Amino acid sequence: MSALISITGVAKRYATDRGEVVAVQDVDLEVRQGSFVALLGPSGCGKSTLLRMVAGLDAPSEGRILLDGQDVVAPTAMVGFMFQHSLLFPWRSVIENVLLPVDIARGKRAEHLDRAHALLASVGLEEFAHHRPNELSGGMQQRAALCRALIVDPPVLLLDEPFGALDSITREELNDLLLQICHESGKTTLLVTHDVEEAVYLADEVVVMSSRPGRISDVVGVELGYPRDTETRNLPEFRALATRLRKGLGIAHRQGRAAR
Amino acid sequence: MSIDTRRLARRATQVGKPLALFTVLVAIWQVVVDKGLVPTVALASPSEVLDYIVTQRAQLWTNSQATIKEIVLAFAIAFVVGVVLAILIKEFQILHDALLPLLVVTQLVPSVAIAPLLVLILGFGDAPKIATAAVIAFFPILINTVAGLDNVEKEAIDLTRSLRASRIQTLRYLELPSAIPYMFAGTRIGITLSVIGAVVGEFVTADKGLGYLILQGSSTLDPTLVFASLVVLAGIGLLLFGAVRVVEYFVVPWNRAPAQRGGRS
Ligand SMILES: Nc1ncnc2c1ncn2[C@@H]1O[C@H](COP(=O)(O)OP(=O)(O)OP(=O)(O)O)[C@@H](O)[C@H]1O
Ligand SMILES: [Mg+2]
């Protein structure tokens, strides 16, 4: 299996009023086709920055990012992006929100309507297709946003803490949903999170980042196999991995403080 | 259903209190005039005004039509110019940097003072009155629409960027819809200013219209005519304002009062 996403020697610096901020530095990362990689790290370590560069929303200051062998210079049709906030448009119904990517790609709504309904059904929102987003709970809104990211069936999913604002019950529910969708459709997924359990539960590889400057401090394979369910969380391997990652993060924290 | 009736009831008390105060004030006004506490040349009693409105309704109606026509045309022009300019200012940074400051500075000139100038330029027909009202009304529509177009969440822009939306698509699918509530805020001010502008225009040059009647009443020492015209004018203003609210209710269903609880997230 070849790398679908390939990041080499990437750095990102921002010019600010108080001089230059190094958001990420020396990042090398390969994401294999069909794999699920979690980016785990403390707040401000550059996870979003990295993800946005892969999505083509920001340009790296240094290094290269390849997506399926092509330099990323702008957002591509290969990527579905999901943010922490659902960003559903309040003037569109739920199903119209799901169809937004189709409208923007100048596709025919009619041709995607069945898929949109099927996606909404798969996340348990079929009854809410014609509701307005503000009639939905936070978790339901994120489900709709997930459908929107999937409607044009992009091979790559980039998820920036999509469940970060949700309660833990809803989050676990959506974790199962995401896992199922990613595996059924063979997506390549890069997920940003600062929840250790979420990272271990979802990913087959966890990339740990440390802050100031943000860089990769550890890459941990998760050999738990799929499918996973609630029982998985109780496995000794799961607990051991989570503990190891927690320690890794703790050390990353301290290094971060010392470097300042 | 029950929620709707409750809202209606709340609306009713909202309207009820000012209405009660209004009634009291009108009653005081009536008593003051009846008891001759004020020289009658300055004040007409409410009953006299009402009587005048009923008996002179034909004259008032003809003049109202002239004024309404000016208001509506001026408002339409102000709305179109305001929104189109706002979009251009949003889309072209050079206009934002060069034109917008100039427009803001022109607002330092009291807009009513340009009415005589517009008469000089446009002659004595309806045009100078419509132009005066439009010039006064367009600015709040423009400024509010610009604010609305600018007030889009950065992340929402990132979303449309990640979907590879063109500039026009971003405008159409994101910026314009999210600016609509702002547009209406500007429109509510704009419609009121259109009324003011039309009357100011009629003060400067007119042979018909409610503003003209008010001037007539003033110069012929006829307070009843002045008050009757004012009452009709106020009614027209209220009706137009209400019409804007009704249109807003149907065009911006996501921004109705009870929905604001949820907000966007
Ligand atoms: N547009 C910007 N201008 C200046 N500095 C920025 C900008 N965006 C990010 N940064 C800086 O880059 C660093 C990394 O930010 P980033 O948002 O990638 O962190 P993160 O890991 O996603 O954090 P969180 O978990 O809180 O979302 C931070 O120190 C931040 O201040
Ligand atoms: Mg982030």
**A131 in reach of chain B (CB within 8 A):** no
Higher pLDDT, B183 or A257: B183
Choose the mutation target among A72, A76, A89 for the interface with B, i.e. most B CBs under 10 Å: A89
Radius of gyration of chain B (CA): 23
Ligand 1 atom closest to the CA of A15, numbered from 1: 4
Q: State how far residue A141 is from chain B, nearest Cα, in angstroms.
A: 8
| Contact between chains at A90 and B169 (C-beta distance less than 8 A) | no
At A52, the pLDDT band (50, 70, 90 cuts) reads very high
pLDDT value at residue B195: 95
Q: How far is the CA of A14 from the centre of ligand 1 (A)?
A: 9
Q: Looking at beta carbons, which residues of chain B come within 8 Å of A77?
A: 164
- Cα-based distances in Å from B163 to A20, A57, A150, A154, B222: 30, 10, 12, 11, 67
Q: What is the pLDDT of residues A120-155, one digit of tens each?
A: 999 999 999 999 999 999 999 999 999 999 999 999
Q: Looking at beta carbons, which residues of chain B come within 8 Å of A81?
A: 158-159, 162
What's the rounded mean pLDDT across residues B144-172? 95
Q: Looking at beta carbons, which residues of chain A come within 8 Å of B180?
A: 91
* Residue B13 clears pLDDT 70, i.e. is over it: yes
**A258 in reach of chain B (CB within 8 A):** no
Which of A86, A89, A141 shows the shortest C-beta gap to B177?
A89
Instruction: Please answer whether residues A14 and A20 qualify as being in contact, where contact means their C-beta atoms are separated by less than 8 angstroms.
Output: yes
> Cβ–Cβ contacts within 10 Å for residue B69, how many?
15
Nearest CA to ligand 1 atom 25: A43
Q: Looking at beta carbons, which residues of chain A come within 8 Å of B258?
A: none
Q: What is the pLDDT of residues A210-254, one digit of tens each?
A: 888 889 988 999 888 888 888 888 889 989 998 889 888 875 445
| Contact between chains at B180 and A91 (C-beta distance less than 8 A) | yes
Q: Looking at beta carbons, which residues of chain B come within 8 Å of A76?
A: 164
**A187 in reach of chain B (CB within 8 A):** no
What's the rounded mean pLDDT across residues B40-47? 80
* Closest chain A residue to the Cα of B252, Cα to Cα: A91
A23 lines ligand 1 (CB under 6 A): yes
For the domain made up of B42-263, the CATH class stated in words is: mainly alpha
Choose the mutation target among A51, A87, A92 for the interface with B, i.e. most B CBs under 10 Å: A87
Q: What is the pLDDT of residues A38-51, one digit of tens each?
A: 999 999 899 999 99
pLDDT value at residue B57: 92
Instruction: Please answer whether residues A220 and A206 qualify as being in contact, where contact means their C-beta atoms are separated by less than 8 angstroms.
Output: yes
What is the ipTM score, two decimals? Answer: 0.90
**A162 in reach of chain B (CB within 8 A):** no
What are the sequence ranges of the domains in chain B? 1-38, 42-263
Nearest CA to ligand 1 atom 16: A46
**B180 in reach of chain A (CB within 8 A):** yes
* Residue A259 clears pLDDT 70, i.e. is over it: no
